[in-house]
């Protein structure tokens, strides 16, 4: 599942555990999983990071930069990504703006959840495209998971996994309406 086809729905699951007293128990992976589908457990630490809307996204386009400002903004985005990689080595992230590798995933999420295929051709030929692009501002990054050699996770060609939700679904903790994207270089 890459997330560019409306038929990809159901290829992922975000499970939210509301009970703060829930006892999680470590279990062994199913025997059917091979070494490529078994990941090493890792410790998580959280820290605040500055994120900005990615270049070549609808959110960035709404900022209406001059050409010179756009170049400076692109440089800033690259510097932030590089700084984060130096600090932590990975670009795992909860909330904020994504570290985008390819196309605008908020637009992709809105198009795909409305039945528009994003794999090839021109999805903007759909008569609903203009309205759906504007509706993409409702989508929020829930979680971004980077390729991580320590955890033995490799997403295609050094890619990342992204989970998206609409703003109100995030607020209401409705995780079954989200969208998933895999992007790689």
Average pLDDT over residues 45-52: 82
E-strand stretches of 9-121: 93-94
Give residue-wise pLDDT tens across range 115-142.
999 888 788 888 998 889 888 989 999 9
Token readout for 35 is 């070494």
DSSP three-state, residue 122: coil
13 by DSSP, 3-state: which?
Answer: coil
Q: What is the pLDDT of residues 12-40, one digit of tens each?
A: 999 888 888 888 888 888 888 877 777 88
Alpha helices in 89-184 (DSSP H): 105-113, 129-135, 167-171
Write the pLDDT tens digit of every residue in 145-159: 888 878 878 788 878
> Rounded CA gap, 149 and 140, in Å?
27
């Amino acid at each position: 599942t890459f997330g560019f086809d409306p038929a990809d729905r159901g290829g992922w699951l975000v499970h939210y555990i509301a009970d703060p007293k829930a006892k999680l128990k470590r279990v062994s992976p199913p025997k059917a999983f091979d070494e490529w589908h078994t990941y090493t457990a890792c410790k998580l630490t959280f820290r605040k990071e500055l994120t900005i809307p990615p270049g070549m996204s609808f959110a960035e386009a709404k900022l209406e930069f001059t050409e010179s400002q756009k170049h400076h903004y692109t440089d800033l985005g690259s510097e932030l990504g590089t700084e984060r990689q130096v600090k932590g080595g990975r670009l795992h992230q909860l909330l904020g703006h994504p570290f985008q590798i390819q196309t605008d995933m908020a637009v992709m999420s809105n198009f795909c959840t409305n039945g528009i295929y994003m794999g090839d051709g021109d999805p903007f030929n759909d008569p609903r495209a203009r309205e759906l692009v504007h509706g993409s501002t409702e989508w929020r990054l829930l979680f971004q998971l980077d390729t991580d050699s320590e955890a033995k996770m490799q997403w295609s060609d050094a890619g990342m996994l992204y989970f998206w939700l609409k703003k109100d679904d995030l607020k209401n903790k409705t995780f079954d309406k989200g969208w998933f994207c895999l992007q790689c270089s």
